Amino acid sequence: MSDPGFFQLNVRALLGRSYPRVVGGMRELSWIFFETVLPLLSIAAYVFIYKAFLRPNPSPDQLNMVNALIGYVVIGGTMTAFWLNVLWSMASQLYWEKEVGNLQLYMMAPMSRMALLGGMAVGGMFMTSTRAITTLVVGVFIFSIVITITNPLLILAVFFVTLIALYGMGMMFASLYLLYGREAWNLSALMEEPIFLLSGFYFPVKALGQAVAIGASIIPATLGLDALRQLMFSGGGPGSQFYFFSPELELAVLCVLAAVFLVLAKLSLAYLEKLAKREGRLTTRHQ
Amino acid sequence: MTYAAETRELTRIFKRKAKRHLFKRKPAEDGEKENGGPVKALDHVSLTIKEGELFGLLGPNGAGKTTLIKVLCTLLLPTSGSAYVAGFDVSKDVGQIRRKINMVSGGETSGYGLLTTRENIWMFSQFYGIPTKVAKQRIDDLMHTFGLTDKKNTKVRTLSTGERQKMNMIRGFVTDPEILFLDEPTLGLDVNASRTIREYVMNWVRKREHKTVLLTTHYMAEADMMCDRVAIIDQGRVLALDTPANLKKMIRKESTVQLEVDTLKSTAPLGVIKGINNFSSKDDIVRNVTSLTIIVEEESAISDIMSAISAQGSKIRSLRKTDPTLEDVFISMVGKGLEE
């Protein structure tokens, strides 16, 4: 059998590495409860706060406003699944792979390191998408949210570029976490709740002020959420004063973030591999 | 001539750098040290492994066997010297080398417990770009050979140690490597599982052209039975390299005496007996027995040995003279057994 070409090898490697997450994840059906029902509870808390704003006999504008705010919360709750997956699963994956002895087998295989990281990301995206979509559909149904979609292609583009940028960030974190071991896990704990606040997972991010919103834009979820909300609730909502940039500009910035994170992920893993070969640890268990 | 693997004055030193910390920590307490002196895992190792050879590396834990394999597998860089696999330099030509090799270690826990055995092996085959149809056919054939067919749809996390190691072996063979590195592949396995693996490895090398295996083990009988040539390695240095038969001939003029005696207080008196080349001892606390393997140059030393044992009030339970084994060669060179 002749050797596969570079493209064939790496596409197969990427699909192979994504397989455990795509298939394996579906074999633990407890996720339906833990990752769909439980997130809905925290979403519900915000929903009831926004609903409390409604006076008796609300005007159509008030109804639209609250509908949009509840929609913001549900979309934020949906994106929470991706953020947690990036933070706790993607970022810590290489460290975990090292501990079970997979990492050295990956490192001695002929595939590109980006195929390895890409497979982890694609698998994570797929697995989390099924969970996020379930949360979205159930949330929209339970809370009777009216969504107005005017530009579905732009929504899809924003959604996928946000995911690529988010997972690119996770790929970069993966090398960092491997370098610092379990200590880096504290970073995940440190980043989890503050990012929920700074990226505006449950409210329009601009409510925090322009400067904070710009700073928080380094996390791709910030701009992704803002753009998705603008595109899905164009008929109502708190008004343009709470929107950050235009969806088109936010998409452009997300594309740049995605490219930067992917390049940084490639460079950091290459650096890590070099370090591992020189120092004789990092990729190998007990070293 | 291009060898399957070759090392020239290969040295690998581990510097034991301090662990990186993301957050500032208090200094280590109670003498706990994170920095240590450098460890020379490989010390000017020069050897050649021919294509089609089943080559054994024999040595105790910490001898440098795994380090050598990791250098040849492109997971570690040499500190000095050079190493080549299939004619390619491990420092420069990693891409070419990685397409030609695979590695299986004993006690490996690689893979994902949620996947089935077949899925797990398939996944690893994809990292080598094997087409799915070819991979699945090979997996089925190998599972049949290793007696694992009935476990092919079993989740990996439910496999026994032996079954898991068979799966690891299949992972190594499924990519059809030119050179396979086996690092203690039968470690902790029962007799049947070990035999299946040994037989398959030997057939794989003998019956197929251009296939090479580098096997590390500290099971003497395994090296003796399987390997075309064996390198005895200790503290990072190759002490001897030859066929098992020739290695044993090196000490043919000597005799090996194996004794079981009541637990000895000290083996020091044996060290001063004239005519003893070297010896190893192992205590069995449960049976209250010390097992001695003694390489003697002069048979007259045997009566002195018996006197030294009796002088400690210990009784001799059994005594036999045996043909030299690889372990005897090792004891003769290193002055200790492999499992000490």
Instruction: Reduce the secondary structure of A102-133 to three states and give it as a string.
Output: HHHHHHCCCCCHHHHHHHHHHHHHHHHHHHHH
Q: Can you say whether the dihedral through the CA atoms of B113, B115, B116, B122 is positive or negative?
A: negative
Q: Which of B297, B41, B128, B321 is nearest to A279 (CA)?
A: B41
Return the number of other C-beta atoms located less than 10 Å from residue A189's C-beta: 10
Name the percent of chain A lying above pLDDT 90: 35
Residue A287 pLDDT greater than 60, yes or no: no
Chain B residue with the nearest C-alpha to that of A287: B16
Closest CA to A272 of A262, A283, A261, A263: A283
Q: Is A179 on the interface with B (CB under 8 A)?
A: yes
CB contact (8 A) between residue A12 and residue B114: no
Please state, in angstroms and rounded to a whole number, the distance separating the CA atoms of residues A104 and A273: 10
Q: Do B70 and A180 touch (CB under 8 A)?
A: no
Tell me the residues of chain B between 91 and 110 that have a Cβ less than 8 Å away from chain A: 95, 98-99, 101-103, 105, 108-110
**Closest-CA residue in chain B for A272?**
B75
> Do residues A133 and A90 lie in contact, with contact meaning Cβ atoms separated by under 8 Å?
no
Q: Considering only alpha carbons, which residue of chain A is nearest residue B132?
A: A12
| Integer CA distances (angstroms), B27 to A180, B32, B156, B172, B277, in order | 18, 9, 42, 44, 48
CA dist list (Å): B206 to B94, B202, B228, B245: 27, 6, 10, 18
pLDDT confidence of residue B21? 65
Are B140 and B152 spatial neighbours (Cβ–Cβ below 8 Å)? yes
In B, minimum Cα distance to A111 occurs at: B127
> Does residue A242 or residue A148 have the better pLDDT?
A148
Q: What is the side-by-side order of every strand in the sheet holding B237-242?
A: B101-105, B179-183, B212-217, B54-58, B229-234, B237-242
For residue B180, list its beta bridge partners: B102, B213
- Which residues, given as ranges, of chain B have pLDDT below 70? 16-36, 252-253, 337-340
Tokens of A135: 């949360």
pLDDT of residue A15 exceeding 90, the answer is yes
The 10s digit of each residue's pLDDT in A189-246 is: 888 888 888 888 888 888 888 888 899 999 999 999 999 999 988 755 566 667 888 9
Note the pLDDT of residue A56: 79
Q: What is the pLDDT of residue B84?
A: 97
Contact A53, A149 (CB under 8 A): no
Angle of helix A247-279 relative to helix A113-142, nearest 10 degrees? 140
The model's confidence at residue A283, banded by pLDDT at 50, 70 and 90, is low
What is residue B264's predicted lDDT score, i.e. its pLDDT?
A: 87
Work out whether the CA dihedral B159, B165, B171, B173 comes out positive or negative.
negative
**Out of A52-61, A99-108, B68-77, B264-273, least confident range:** A52-61
Provide the pLDDT for residue B339. Answer: 62
Q: Which residues of A touch B126 (CB under 8 A)?
A: 12-13, 15-17, 19
Q: Confidence class of residue A95 from pLDDT cuts 50, 70 and 90?
A: confident
pLDDT computed for residue A34 by the predictor: 76
B198 touches chain A (CB under 8 A): no
Which residue does chain B place closest to A187, by CA atoms? B22
Measure the N-to-C terminal CA separation of chain A; round to a whole number of Å. 37
Instruction: Please check whether residue A1 touches B, CB under 8 A.
Output: yes
Of A110, A184, A279, the CB nearest to B128: A110
Residue matched to tokens 């164009």: A234
Nearest-Cα distance to chain A for B229, in Å, is 26
User: What are the pLDDT digits (tens) for A134-145?
Assistant: 888 988 999 989
Give the distance from residue A266's alpha carbon to the nearest chain B alpha carbon, in angstroms: 17
Fold of B253-323: Alpha-Beta Plaits (3.30.70)
User: Which of these, B137, B187, B147, B191, lies nearest to B167 by C-alpha position?
Assistant: B147
CA B168 to chain centre: 16
The CATH homologous superfamily to which domain B5-16+37-246 belongs is: P-loop containing nucleotide triphosphate hydrolases (3.40.50.300)
Q: Is A249 on the interface with B (CB under 8 A)?
A: no
Q: In whole numbers, what is the pLDDT of chain A averaged over residues?
A: 86
> How many whole angstroms separate alpha carbon B67 and alpha carbon B204?
25
Residue A116 pLDDT exceeds 80? yes
Question: Looking at this predicted complex, what is its ipTM?
Answer: 0.86
Q: How far is CA A277 from CA A97, A172, A272, B103, in A?
A: 17, 19, 9, 17
**Residue of B127, B138, B187, B210 to mutate, interface with A, max A Cβ within 10 Å:** B127
Residue B136 token pair = 């699945």
DSSP state of B19: P
List CB contacts (< 8 A) between B110 and chain A. 100-102, 105
**CB–CB contact B23 A13 (8 Å):** no
Domain with CATH 3.30.70.260 in chain B: 253-323
A284 touches chain B (CB under 8 A): yes
Cβ neighbours of B12 in A, within 8 Å: 280
Query: Cα-Cα-Cα-Cα dihedral of B4, B52, B45, B221, to 10°?
Result: 150
Nearest CA-CA partner of A284 in A91, A92, A102, A13: A102
CB–CB of B110 and A184 under 8 A?
A: no
Return the residue of A nearest to B23 by Cα.
A183
Q: Does B46 touch chain A (CB under 8 A)?
A: no
Q: Please name which of B337, B318, B228 lies closest in space to residue B278, comparing C-alpha atoms.
A: B337
Please check whether residue B303 is in contact with residue B274, taking contact to mean a CB–CB distance below 8 angstroms. Answer: no
pLDDT for the residue A196: 87
Note the pLDDT of residue B31: 43
Q: Report the SS3 class of residue B217.
A: strand
